[in-house]
Structure 1
Amino acid sequence: MIKFTDPNEKVNWDSLTERERAIFDQKEHLATKFTYPSWKSLQFELRARVAIMDAAMALNNSAAGFATFKQSQCNDEYWIRKENGGFLLKKDVLPSKAVRDIFINGNQYGFECATAIIIILYKAALEILGDEVFDKMFKELFLYSWNFDSDLKLITVNGKQEAFSGDVMYFKNPDVDPKMPEWQGENVVKMEQSMFFGHGISVLSKEQIIERLNRLRKPGSTVSAYLVDQVTYPDFSYWEKMADTGQQDTGAPPSVTATAPFPPLLVQPVPLLSPAAGTVIGRIGGRTMVYAR
């Protein structure tokens, strides 16, 4: 269910789009309590989640190809391709223009699924924050696997956690054919109607993705691919502060919490204060890991 720290805060249902309402309804009808400081903060998250899905579909509809790091390619007008297959933003290029170019001139790009997810999140941040703030906050982009600017501020929750549209998830293929290691798993964006977008496989259902990955197992394997019980999403309250102030939020307390009566679970944007019993928290760069028991 959705709650506000101010009991007088009201839901402005008419201000939501149909897609935003669908995410709102999913959160509202769960036993988990999601607490927001204001209606504005909740609406910002809903808008951002839709922007992530829109960015995923835009990448799906672009001509950007799937490629291993060894075979990756980019538009050298905006990016420098490094030896490891990553793309470094040129110093005289605006980040907003370089990110948009991936979606406009996709036929000049090829990358694997983890890089695709980060590109999608940058595109969503760009559309939510606007060019001026985005260019200020993301000046030195380097696109390579799960490398990302700390201001993207991602949270990963492991354990019994609900997934919502706009979340990033992972299908693992533990018995992948060693001749095709690039198919050891698939990073995906959860879309509407129980569908998922993965770069290189398009938009498919959970069952279809597992079936496709199972075709790429070792000969004779009976170990199925599966959807990992893990979700990754931006710290939406951090994004909101960037949008409002155009600068980093270096020390504000968390503004959105999610708590479930059973099993014990606490999910909060960083910095994470006073974690609940039964949680293990770790942080790697700009990414926070929350393990729920």
Structure 2
Amino acid sequence: MIYVNGMPVNASMIEHIKQLDQQEKQIAMKLINSREEFVYQTVRQLTFETKFRKNIVAACYALKKSNPGFASFSTARCNPAYWLLTRYGGFLLRPDVTPSAAINDIYINGKLYAFECTTGIMILLYKGVLDTIGEVKFNQLFRGLLLWSTEHDEDLQLVAVQGDSMPGDVLYIKNPEFHPLTPQWQGENIIDLGNGTYFGHGIGIGTLESIIEILNQRRRPGATVSAFLTNQIIRPNYRLMAEYTGHPIRRLLA
């Protein structure tokens, strides 16, 4: 359910919000039909969230097309023109390049990169916010960027919730009996694409069932416990991050 300025929002109202394109309206409808309550002070916060979610989903398809490699921290690689590879397998932004150019390079020169799935999730979220707020504000917010595991800049305001996953949400599939020789398959971070499929770096796009089956094939000999979807969802705090846009506040349907 969606509430804006204390008012419940229905499907008819969504159709009349001019700031939403068709894909964003579809995302808004999923929010309306969710058991979770999505509460906003202004319509700007709602339109920011739907646009951001759409851009995270688009970033997944774009990363798959860019085709970076899948690697453990010890074998990670990056384009040295934009990033410094740390001794622990992180990518530290070079001081002579902008954060936006460095993030975009992963999508342009993907074959120069290899990383594991948690770093991949952070890249997707940064690309989503970049395409939502634009290069100028992104570069102001995310100087000194480090891509490594779940490490993230405080301005990428991530929160953990439980409930129904929505397009752009980050979920985790745990593989409790992973093979000890391949600890990178102890689980997979995935992003809900909103159409019954999910994206996970190193696995690609598939249904929840197909991704679980792939992880089950990477268990230790004699394993009997299946990989399973955990109940935690990670997402940006869209309502707070909407302040990064600086657009004039609009009333619902204004």
Q: Verify same fold: TM over 0.5.
A: yes
Unaligned runs of 5+ in 2: 248-254
**CA RMSD between the two structures:** 1.7
Report the count of equivalent residues.
243
**Deviation string for 1:36-65 (max 9, x for gaps)?**
112221111000000010111111110211
Q: Against the structure 1 CA distance between its residues 172 and 7, is the aligned structure 2 distance closer, same or farther, given a 3 Å change threshold?
A: closer
In the TM superposition, what are the counterparts of 1:9-158 in structure 2 within 5 Å? 11-14=13-16, 15=18, 16-157=20-161
**Preserved CA contact (<8 Å) 1:11 1:39:** no
Instruction: Report the equivalent of 1:165.
Output: 167
Q: Against the structure 1 CA distance between its residues 93 and 221, is the aligned structure 2 distance closer, same or farther, given a 3 Å change threshold?
A: same
Give distance in 2, aligned partners of 1:206 and 1:240: 30
Instruction: Report the equivalent of 2:206.
Output: 204
**Deviation string for 1:201-226 (max 9, x for gaps)?**
11010000110000011111110000
Give distance in 1, aligned partners of 2:62 and 2:24: 18
> Which one has a larger percent strand, Structure 1 or Structure 2?
1
Instruction: Report the equivalent of 2:236.
Output: 234
| Aligned partner letter, 2:3 | K
**Preserved CA contact (<8 Å) 2:2 2:8:** no
Give distance in 1, aligned partners of 2:8 and 2:207: 40
**Deviation string for 1:182-211 (max 9, x for gaps)?**
000001111121110000111010000110
Unaligned runs of 5+ in 1: 246-293
What is the Cα deviation at residue 30 of structure 1? 3.3
SS in 1 for 2:13: coil
Give distance in 2, aligned partners of 1:174 and 1:25: 35
Give distance in 1, aligned partners of 2:158 and 2:70: 24
**Preserved CA contact (<8 Å) 1:6 1:38:** no
Give distance in 2, aligned partners of 1:38 and 1:147: 31
**Deviation string for 1:58-102 (max 9, x for gaps)?**
111102111111111000001110110111111111111001000
In the TM superposition, what are the counterparts of 1:270-289 in structure 2 within 5 Å? none
Q: Does 1:186 align with 2:201?
A: no
| Aligned partner letter, 2:33 | H
**Preserved CA contact (<8 Å) 2:14 2:28:** no
What is the Cα deviation at residue 12 of structure 1? 4.9
What is the Cα deviation at residue 8 of structure 1? 10
Give distance in 1, aligned partners of 2:7 and 2:238: 21
Which stretch shifts more, 172-181 or 23-32? 23-32
TM-score with structure 2 setting the length: 0.91
SS in 2 for 1:45: helix
Q: Against the structure 1 CA distance between its residues 237 and 34, is the aligned structure 2 distance closer, same or farther, given a 3 Å change threshold?
A: closer
What is the Cα deviation at residue 17 of structure 1? 2.5
Instruction: Report the equivalent of 1:3.
Output: 3
SS in 2 for 1:151: coil
- By relative contact order (CA 8 Å, sep 6+), the higher-ranking structure is 2
Q: Against the structure 1 CA distance between its residues 75 and 28, is the aligned structure 2 distance closer, same or farther, given a 3 Å change threshold?
A: same
After superposing on structure 2, the runs of 4+ consecutive aligned residues of structure 1 that deviate more than 6 Å are none
Give distance in 1, aligned partners of 2:2 and 2:100: 34
Give distance in 2, aligned partners of 1:114 and 1:171: 12
User: What is the identity percentage for the equivalent residue pairs of Structure 1 and Structure 2?
Assistant: 40
Q: Against the structure 1 CA distance between its residues 110 and 6, is the aligned structure 2 distance closer, same or farther, given a 3 Å change threshold?
A: same
Give distance in 1, aligned partners of 2:37 and 2:145: 36
> Which one has a larger percent helix, Structure 1 or Structure 2?
2
Instruction: Report the equivalent of 1:275.
Output: none
Give distance in 1, aligned partners of 2:223 and 2:214: 14
